[in-house]
Amino acid sequence: MRIAIIVPAYNEEKAIAAVVDDINTIAKEYQLALTAVVVNDCSKDSTSEVISKLNCVALNLPVNLGIGGAVQTGFKYAFENNYDYAIQVDGDGQHPASEISKLLKKAIEENADVVIGSRFIDKEGFQSSAMRRFGINYFKRLNKLLVGVVVNDSTSGFRLINKKVLALVSEYYPDEYPEPEAIIIYSLSGFKISEVAVTMRERQGGVSSIGMFSSVYYMFKVSLAILYTFIRMKFRR
């Protein structure tokens, strides 16, 4: 069972080495065929130089595509190289590699196509700010209203997809902040979505792409994207 660990990275020179090292350590400890695939989204710092020295597949984008484009690049690599699963892991160190086994176990036990790691099921570890928790709960309710799927941590970037889903996202994947919108796509495409409790950390480096003052704009923009995707897919011929 070959598993690609997709790590999108933008200006993550401080955290990315530890992220990759953790992945490789877990692969050896649990005897898993994990391949760290770091997608450098045209970083302005020394991320490119750092990953060139690591035990990973380094994919350097010539232009900045944003989180959606960077993640899709990794998914395309996994699909074209015939990996069984792809697991997205943030490049800022929020997602401990030790939690990867929980996503794999859930996918196998429930025959799930998509498994999302949630910090809000057991409520252990870093829980994010109050403003972000409000937004996450809002997207949880919106997704439930539209497709009847309850995902407690719909903005989580810690998620697993299998080969069937890889075939889809290799062709189309939302840009900018894709995680809530992707849930709509997966659900309306007939994929089974599961969620599993994981423990997350605070970011170990870099700067968040969503600041305090942009949170409301983010919610508005992503809401429009979700509604557009829902209408487009629901009523397609």
The CATH number of the domain holding residue 189 is 3.90.550.10
pLDDT at position 204, please?
A: 53
* Tokens read off for 54: 């690591």
Tell which residue, 140, 145, 133, 137, has the closest CA to residue 200.
133
Please state, for a pLDDT cut of 90, what percent of the chain lies above it. 78
- Count Cβ atoms within 10 A of the Cβ of residue 172 and give its class: 0-12 exposed, 13-18 middle, 19 or more buried: exposed
Q: How many domains does the chain have?
A: 1
Can you give the residue range of the structural domain that contains 171? 2-234
- Comparing C-alpha atoms, which of 142, 137, 146 is closest to residue 187? 146
Q: What is the pLDDT of residue 212?
A: 46
Q: What is the pLDDT of residue 105?
A: 97
| Chain segment 192-225, per-residue pLDDT in tens | 999 999 999 876 555 555 544 467 888 889 999 9
Residue 171 is predicted with a pLDDT of: 95
Cα distance between residue 4 and residue 60, in whole Å: 17
Using CB atoms within 10 Å of the CB of residue 56, give its burial: 0 to 12 exposed, 13 to 18 middle, 19+ buried. Answer: buried
Vertex 151: Cα angle to 112 and 129 (nearest 5): 135
Per-residue pLDDT at 205: 54
CA 10 to chain centre: 14
Question: pTM of the full predicted structure?
Answer: 0.90
Stretches where the chain sits below pLDDT 50 are 211-213
Residue 122: per-residue pLDDT? 72
